[in-house]
Structures are given as C-alpha cells and as structure tokens.
C-alpha cells in the first residue's frame, strides 16, 4: 500500500488523492464513532456519518476508475465548504488542524490558474467561520472542554499524517526528477565529449584532458597519427569502406590506450593518443597499433595499410598549443621521410 504512494508509474495527483480520501474517511469515521459513544445521535454525529459515506464512495470510485477529477472536486468542496468549518463551529480550536488541511489540499490539488483565487476565497471563508465562532459563541453548540483533548489530538494526528504523506510524495517526485535530470545531463555531457562517427573522444575533450594532465604535472606523451594514403583508399575502395577504416582504426587505438591514457579523433583521418608515460612506452603502444591495423587491412583487402605519427613529450610549463604544434611538425617530418614511421625527436 505505502509503496504504491511512491510508485511513479501512477499519476501524482492520483496518489495524493488516495491520501486525501483516506484522511477524509478516517477523520469522519472517528468523529462519527466518538460522537455516538459520547453524545449519542445528534446533528454532528449524523453529519460526520454522511460525510464519511460520501467521501468513502467518492474515494473508492476515483481509485477504481482512475478518474479522480470529479471525486476530488466533491471531496474538496465537502471538506472545505461544509465539514471542516462545521467541526470548528462545534469544537472550536481543537479542530483547527482540519481547516489547515483544507487549505493545503487547495495548494496541492488545484491547478496554477485557480490555485490563488480559490486559496484566497477559502481563507476569507474560514476567516468568517472563525469570526462567527467567537461572535456567536453563546448560540453555537459548545462541548465540554474535557472532550477537546481527544478531538484536538485526532485532528492533529490525521491532518499531520495526510500532509506528511502528500508532501513526501511531492518531494520524492521532485528528487527522482532531479536525479533523472542529473543523469541525463551527465549522459549528454559524456556524449558531447565523443566523436559522432567513431565513438572515441573528440578534439574538444582532448584539449580538456590535456589541460587536466598539465595542471596535475603528470608526465605524458601526445602522439599525433595520420593514416597514410587515406585519399587513395577512398578512391580505390569507396567512401563507405573509408568510413569503416576510420571507425576500425579508432577502435584499435582506443583499446590500445586502455588505462594508460586516451585516444581521440584529431580531425579527418588524424588521431591522437595521449599516453601517461615516456616516449618508449608510447612507441611500444604505437607498434601494437601498427600490427593490429595491418592485420585488419590484410584481412579486409589483402593489403597492408600504414600510418605515420609524431610524438611530443610534455615538459614542465609547455602549453597545449605547443604540444599540438610540435606533434604536427614531427608528423610532417615522418611523412616527408616516406611515411609508415614514427618521429619522436
């Protein structure tokens, strides 16, 4: 039962309606039983019994059919216009929590356009009832003060429980939504770090990652890679296969980088591997990449594809732009020297 109150697959208003209906049935049933036991049958006893039946019927109908708008209107109208003011006139301040519960239901259930006007009208109405209670105290029925404690305690407990569960439902809904939004924001943030075609990191995140390494003063190398003769591959085998080569190579360097750094697409057929460690470790990593890339190309086209790379080792105080520039210069020297090689000095 209580789990369903926090089940988000059920409409928020329906869950709060269940709380309101339960509170209405409980308060009226209790009022009816107490009045019968203490005072016998009188107009308040009869009113409590009738209200309990009406609220019970409306609550059951709303919960069974899922159509809560009309039953909700009946319950709100009954408790705000008739029942809670009646109890206050009869018992005085001991039933004041019920009137506050009535105002709370307006805030919780009415839409934004009507909420303010209805709340103001209810405040004026309740104010008039309170004024009448004190202005005509000699005429209006008053029960012995010995009965106030039980009446006031039950009013307080029922109203407090109803407001607790309604507010708990609203707060849980709000917190769940916040968690979902945060998760979505994290997912979108992660997506924004990735290259759309290959699924590895993009250049924007590459720069962010390098800045983090520089701030942490970690020793690392940046290897800028360019696929050799990629234009000829596109011309010979077609653009779809060229895209396949880009995606496959991205997967190879992403696996190779592992936990030692990251792989990112630098642009076009250029990639960068950031390796936490020295030049030798980076060269070993690139050697493994070369073997896997060649194995892929031979299996696909019986031809060995190659790449060229320039490695720049970070030194203290070096700017990111200089790392990129130096790696590009070394890559250019690798191309001039005949491609299919790595230049690190």
DSSP string, 190-249: HHHTB-TTT-SB-HHHHHHHHHHHHHTT--EEEEEEEETTHHHHHHHH-HHHHHHHHHHH
Q: How does pLDDT run across 128-139, given as a tens digit for each residue? A: 877 777 776 665
Q: Residue 106 pLDDT more than 50?
A: yes
Helices (H) and strands (E) in the chain, counts: 13, 5
Q: Residue 333 pLDDT more than 90?
A: yes
How would residue 242 be classed by pLDDT, with cut points 50, 70 and 90? very high
Distance CA 85, CA 96 (A): 9
Instruction: Identify the domain boundary among 118, 152, 186.
Output: 186
Both 258 and 333 in one domain: the answer is yes
- Give me the sign of the Cα torsion angle 131, 137, 142, 144: positive
Judge whether 191 lies within some domain: no
Instruction: Identify the domain boundary among 124, 154, 186.
Output: 186
Both 122 and 228 in one domain: the answer is no
Closest among 298, 309, 319, 208 to 253, alpha carbons compared: 309
Q: What is the mean pLDDT of the chain?
A: 81
Distance CA 329, CA 343 (A): 9
Both 33 and 124 in one domain: the answer is yes
Judge whether 195 lies within some domain: no
What is the arithmetic mean of pLDDT over 268-274? 92
What residues make up the domain containing 211?
A: 203-343
Both 169 and 229 in one domain: the answer is no
3-state class (DSSP) for residue 315: coil
Domain count, the chain: 2
Cβ proximity of 155 and 90 under 8 Å? no
Distance CA 223, CA 232 (A): 23
Distance CA 324, CA 306 (A): 22
SS3 per residue for 146-176: HHHHHHHHHHHHHHHHHHHHHHHHHHHHHHH
What is the arithmetic mean of pLDDT over 194-217? 85
Angle at 337 between CA 336 and CA 340, to 5 degrees: 100
Strand partners of residue 342: 309
Tell me the CATH number at 231: 3.30.70.270
Torsion of CA 265, 271, 276, 277, to 10 degrees: 180
Max Cα-Cα span within the chain: 110
Q: What pLDDT was estimated at residue 223?
A: 92
Both 161 and 117 in one domain: the answer is yes
Both 55 and 181 in one domain: the answer is yes
Q: How does pLDDT run across 161-178, given as a tens digit for each residue? A: 676 667 667 767 777 777
Judge whether 96 lies within some domain: yes
Judge whether 163 lies within some domain: yes
Q: How does pLDDT run across 288-312, given as a tens digit for each residue? A: 999 999 999 999 989 999 999 999 9
Distance CA 187, CA 175 (A): 18
Q: How does pLDDT run across 31-79, given as a tens digit for each residue? A: 777 777 766 777 777 887 888 888 888 888 887 887 888 888 888 888 8
Q: Residue 141 pLDDT more than 70?
A: no
What is the DSSP code string of 114-146?
HHHHHHHHHHHHHHHHHHHHHHTTTTS----GG
Judge whether 155 lies within some domain: yes
Instruction: Identify the domain boundary among 186, 216, 236.
Output: 186
Structure-block tokens of residue 49: 């019994």
3-state class (DSSP) for residue 296: helix
Judge whether 84 lies within some domain: yes
Cβ proximity of 163 and 104 under 8 Å? yes
Both 69 and 182 in one domain: the answer is yes
Q: Which residue has better confidence, 340 or 40?
A: 340
Q: Residue 183 pLDDT more than 60?
A: yes
């Amino acid at each position: 039962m209580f789990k369903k109150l926090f089940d988000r697959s059920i409409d928020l208003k329906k869950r709060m309606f269940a709380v309101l209906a339960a509170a209405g049935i409980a308060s009226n049933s209790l009022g009816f039983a107490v009045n019968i036991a203490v005072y016998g049958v009188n107009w308040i006893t009869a009113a409590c019994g009738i209200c309990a039946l009406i609220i019970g019927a409306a609550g059951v109908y709303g919960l069974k059919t899922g159509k809560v708008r009309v039953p909700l209107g009946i319950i709100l109208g009954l408790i705000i216009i008739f029942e809670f003011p009646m109890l206050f006139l009869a018992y005085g301040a001991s039933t004041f929590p019920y009137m506050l519960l009535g105002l709370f239901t307006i805030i919780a259930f009415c839409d934004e356009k009507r909420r303010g006007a209805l709340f103001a009208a209810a405040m004026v109405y309740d104010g008039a009832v309170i004024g009448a209670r004190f202005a005509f105290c000699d005429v209006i029925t008053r029960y012995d003060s010995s009965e106030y404690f039980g009446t006031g305690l039950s009013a307080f407990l029922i109203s407090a429980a109803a407001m607790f569960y309604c507010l708990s439902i609203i707060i849980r809904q709000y917190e769940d939504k916040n968690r979902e939004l945060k998760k979505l924001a994290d997912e979108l943030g992660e997506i924004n770090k990735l290259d759309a075609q290959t699924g590895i990191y993009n250049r924007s995140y590459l720069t962010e990652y390098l800045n983090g390494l520089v701030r942490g003063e970690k020793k690392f190398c940046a290897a800028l890679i360019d696929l050799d003769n990629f234009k000829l591959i596109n011309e010979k085998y077609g653009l779809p296969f060229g895209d396949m080569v880009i995606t496959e190579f991205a997967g190879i360097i992403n696996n190779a980088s592992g936990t030692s750094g990251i792989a990112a697409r630098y642009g076009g057929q250029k990639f960068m591997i950031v390796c936490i460690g020295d030049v030798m470790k980076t060269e070993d990593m690139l050697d493994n990449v070369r073997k896997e890339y060649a194995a892929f190309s031979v299996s696909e086209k019986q031809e060995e594809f190659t790449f060229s790379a320039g490695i720049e080792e970070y030194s203290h105080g070096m700017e990111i732009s200089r790392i990129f520039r130096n790696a590009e210069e070394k890559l250019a020297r690798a191309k001039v020297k005949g491609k299919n090689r790595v230049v690190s000095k």
